[in-house]
Homo-oligomer: A and B are copies of this chain.
Amino acid sequence: MVLSDIETPAAIVDLDRLEANLDRMARYTTRHGLALRPHVKTHKSVRVASAQVRLGAAGLTCATPRELETMSAVATDLLLAYPLLGRGKLSRAMALPADVRLTVSLDSPEAVMQLADAAASAGREVGVYVEIDVGMRRVGVTGVDDAIALIRQIERCKSLEYRGVAFYPGHIRERIADQEEGLARLRADLTRSLERLESAGCRPPVVSGGSTPTVWRSHEIAGVTEIRPGTYVYNDRGTAEIGACEWEDCAFTVLATVVSTAVPGQAVIDAGSKALGREPLRGVAGEGFGAPIDRPDAVVVRMSEEHGVLDVSGTSWRPRVGEQVRLVPNHVCVVVHLNDTMIGVRNDEVKETWPVDARGRGGAPPAGSLGKAAAKSG
């Protein structure tokens, strides 16, 4: 089966590029002595997570109960990089297989209390990373005093173990070459925070950091022991735009078909917001929503739910109705979440397909059906 046999829109993964991306990150973290705990939110699949574990990942990072459940078939060391709140989510996490070493990152006394009670009732010990804000202003305690108070609270709980601190420098969105100022401030802030934690007797066993824009500079941030990159497996237009990958490293595309050329200067494809996502490029509007992998100058400038409008007016390309196009989306993580199946290709030939196992919110199918034979981490 080749690409032209596939019904569109469809999610295509170039297997050579995927493997190269996985290798590159494994080599980078090994060289710099960083623990790699990849975030599965990007791929949500047992297939890709198993490869990450085989290549030496110390564990996996999840954001939802369903991701935890799915990934418990692949690795025993799981981080939920998200506060675990509410009876439903807590009970699902506490029902994970007994051999799962679970860690949760959080930033509030309420989250510590709820987690401690649930863990005690379940007879589990759960690890905690205290989330600290380093400037993104999303989650994370905004001062070291708050971090210390949370750590003291955690240490008082029999069912919890203080395992470290986590941060996410998602506010550094400049191109790699322009990150110097942001990184310098981050380094200074983090060093000061770690010193204060140390002198309060709260030295973090793990300092977990990393974001896609800054990921290849993680080794320059003193103190960091582990990173949690996600997007690197597939990459996307955003990652390429900031220079955290080359355009040729984009492993994921949405295969689409030109469905109309009735309006001059444009080609309408069958990938709209329900297939390509509607994420701005680097957080700014007006840069379009994706571009053909072989023609990055023809941008998807407008979208409806099932229509994407490619502006071809600035190019010599005049696609025909029925022609296929492969688009690199701005932000691959949200696009994977729109799909049930990934189609793996080499040189346009379909080699395998795999499910997006952790898409959705409900309970995952029993671990056995997800290929329990997959390699298990440490």
Contacts and interface: CB of A to CB of B under 8 A. Distances in A.
Nearest to A9: B361
A280 B285 CA distance: 10
Contact of A170 (B10, B266, B304, B322): B304
Contacts of A65: 7
Contacts of A146: 262
A191 interface: no
A83 B10 contact: no
Per DSSP, chain A at the interface is loop
Nearest to A341: B362
Nearest to A107: B262
A321 B273 contact: no
Given A64-B306, A86-B322, A273 B279 contact: yes
Contacts of A89: 7-8
Contacts of A8: 86, 88-89
B259 A139 contact: yes
Contacts of A170: 304
A114 interface: yes
A304 B138 contact: yes
B322 A85 contact: yes
Contacts of A261: 108
B285 A88 contact: no
18 contacts: A6-B88, A8-B89, A63-B306, A82-B306, A83-B259, A83-B260, A83-B321, A107-B260, A108-B261, A110-B320, A131-B262, A138-B268, A139-B262, A142-B263, A170-B304, A278-B334, A280-B285, A305-B334
Interface of A: 5-10, 41, 63-65, 82-83, 85-89, 92, 107-108, 110-111, 114, 131, 133, 137-142, 146, 170, 257, 259-264, 266, 268, 270, 273-274, 277-280, 285, 302, 304-307, 309, 320-322, 333-334, 337-341, 360-362
Given A7-B88, A108-B321, 13 more contacts: A7-B361, A8-B86, A110-B320, A138-B302, A138-B304, A140-B262, A141-B262, A273-B334, A274-B337, A278-B278, A278-B334, A285-B285, A338-B338
